[in-house]
Amino acid sequence: MDLELIITSFPKLLGATVITLKLLSASLFFGLILGLFFAILRLNKNKLVRGFAYGYSYVFRGTPLLVQIFIIYFGLGQIEYLRTTFLWVILKEPYWCAIIAFSLNTGAYTSEILRSAFETIKPGIVEAGRSLGLNKMFIFSKIQIPIAIKQSLPAYGNEIILMLKGTSLASTVTLLDITGVAKFIISTTFRPIEVFIVAGSIYLFITFLVHNLIKYLEKKYRYQ
């Protein structure tokens, strides 16, 4: 054990935490929008719309995140036509490729979490709203969505933690997140154990914060 290396690598890895948190928050933001959108599609009466939403969730939950990020970063980069379009401005940057891959992935899981939450809402609650003369849109946004969010908090907290660890794959497309910087330090010191222990501890600490935040929210939004 090289204690000095642990101490000197800590501030460098802490600096990289900013990139990790940026990737995480951007992916969760876009993923939540995607997830809500596709969860609503899953509840649609039209078979085709439902099938499309199911297909999306099936593909992105059924393939490894690493494969998805490689297809988006290295795969799309090989299509010459794409490089002449405005899309290349975004796809050229590893940062945006990572966010696209992460958002699509977490969006798929989030849509499943929200769908099952919507399905647990008892029909009686919606009927009660209707009998009060509330319109469909109002019932959905003010009754169904809040209940669904409460229902899905524990599962969604889990998804945040999974996504946090997923961001480490950003290092495979040249980004210097926590794992990327850890690999960089190892490439000059050749000491993986010390550096990965520090990197692992930082992930653990973020997980600790996320876990407690979700616990707090669960308590706050518990049914009175």
Partner 1 sequence: MKLKKIILSVFASLFLFSSTLSADTIRIATEGAYPPWNSKSEDGKLIGFEVELANWLCIYMERDCKIVEQDWDGMIPALRMRKYDAIMAGMSITDERKKVITFSQGYADEVASLAVMKGSDLEGMDTPEGINLSLGGKDVKAALKTITGALAGKTVCTQTGTIHQNFLESGDVGSVDVRTYKTQDEVNLDLSAGRCDAALAAAVAFTDYAEKSGKDVVLVGPTFSGGHFGNGVGVGLRQEAQFGSDSALGQRDAQLLKDFNKAIDQARKAGKISELATKWFGFDASM
Q: Which is nearer to partner 1, 35 or 180 (CB)?
A: 180
Q: Which is nearer to partner 1, 38 or 73 (CB)?
A: 73
Distance CA 2, CA 63 (A): 39
Chain positions contacting partner 1, by CB under 8 A: 74, 77-78, 83, 92, 94, 172, 174, 183-184, 186-188, 190-192
What 3-state class would DSSP assign to 222? Answer: coil
Closest separation between CB of residue 23 and partner 1, Å? Answer: 17
Q: Which is nearer to partner 1, 158 or 172 (CB)?
A: 172
Question: Of 114, 109, 112, 122, whose CA–CA distance to 145 is shortest?
Answer: 114
Q: Which is nearer to partner 1, 50 or 183 (CB)?
A: 183
What tokens appear for 154 in the block?
A: 């524990």
Closest separation between CB of residue 179 and partner 1, Å? Answer: 12
Closest separation between CB of residue 92 and partner 1, Å? Answer: 6
Closest separation between CB of residue 169 and partner 1, Å? Answer: 12
Within a 13 Å sphere around the CA of 109, how many CA atoms are in the beta-carbon half? Answer: 22
Q: Which is nearer to partner 1, 84 or 135 (CB)?
A: 84
Distance CA 222, CA 216 (A): 10
Closest separation between CB of residue 182 and partner 1, Å? Answer: 11
Distance CA 179, CA 196 (A): 8
Distance CA 16, CA 173 (A): 15
What tokens appear for 14 in the block?
A: 């802490």
Question: Of 173, 17, 20, whose CA–CA distance to 97 is shortest?
Answer: 173
